[in-house]
Amino acid sequence: MTQRVGIAGTGRMGTAFARRLIETGSRVLVWNRTPARLAPALDAGAQAAELAELARCDAILLVLTDAAASRRVIEDLARAGLDGALVLDLSTHSPAEADALSVQATAAGAEFVHCPVGGTVGPALKGQLLGLAGGSAAAVERARPLLDRLCRRVEHVGKASDAARMKLAINLPLVLYWQTLGEALGLLRAGGVSDDLAISLIADSSAGPAVLKTRGQIVLDTLARGDQTGTFDVEGLMKDLRLALDLGTSEAVDMPLAKAAVGQYRAAIDAGLGRFDGATITRRAARR
């Protein structure tokens, strides 16, 4: 029997998940609080559905803006009946939020896995994400066949809160990298080195993380032609930066570099650049 997967939230990542799962044999039902945002997923072959219909799927993926949105959707799903359901939340939350969602879904009778992922739309479409799974061993094993179709690696890291903590730790260096890359380019520009040569050499060195090797062209386009729409945009990076700082503050972890980066991200958002790629931070830092 064809697996039925429900997806709540059809932004860029939710739509990418829908495409990947349809291509690998699932029947996909989708819901979004703003119905107009369903169009790309419907074009890919998904079926529009109400939340009550999603509750009856073999698995339900939550790909929503924040923990408050996930909480509201779980409440609505619970009214339709979640006894025995498998709920996977693939969004990024704080550890406390992830554990609270786990308690909420479990109380409604569901098995819950918090599995934030490393990677954006491109890897999602190819099933090449990094899955950071948190939940009971039984729930993660139940979810693994589905997650294996989205991820090149799925690691059970512990509880829901452990998965959330790992995701924030993975994203924090990326948040800081966009600023430091811009500062490095500023040094090179002062000596007359072109951006093309600089990015080529940095990407081919120990200073070039995976994001620069896969998205170097977006950086060059941003530097040469202006800000580009991003799959992991400035607002999303700022959200994760805030979550990481809040966690650090609550646990007395000193994070001076992260604190310093807040001002750069806030200035970009205040300038109306929140929906552009993180390379926008690099452009602004290089210009100065």
Position of tokens 């073999």? 58
Pairing of strands 47-48, 27-31: parallel
The whole-angstrom separation of Cα 115 and Cα 89 is 6
Domain co-membership, 17 together with 143: yes
pLDDT at 2: 63
Domain co-membership, 124 together with 255: no
Which residues, given as ranges, of the chain have pLDDT below 70?
Answer: 1-2, 288
Burial (Cβ within 10 Å: 0-12, 13-18, ≥19) of residue 48: middle
Q: How many domains does the chain have?
A: 2
Domain co-membership, 110 together with 186: no
Domain co-membership, 123 together with 22: yes
Range of 233's domain?
168-287
CATH number where 107 lies: 3.40.50.720
Domain co-membership, 175 together with 233: yes
Pairing of strands 86-89, 47-48: unpaired
Q: Kindly write down the DSSP assignment for every residue of 33-52, as one continuous string.
A: SSGGGGHHHHHTT-EE--HH
163 in a domain, yes or no?
Answer: no
Backbone angles phi, psi at 274, to 5 degrees: -65, -30
Domain co-membership, 262 together with 136: no
Domain co-membership, 244 together with 262: yes
Domain co-membership, 145 together with 281: no
- pTM of this structure: 0.91
CATH number where 199 lies: 1.10.1040.10
204 in a domain, yes or no?
Answer: yes
Domain co-membership, 130 together with 245: no
Domain co-membership, 124 together with 215: no
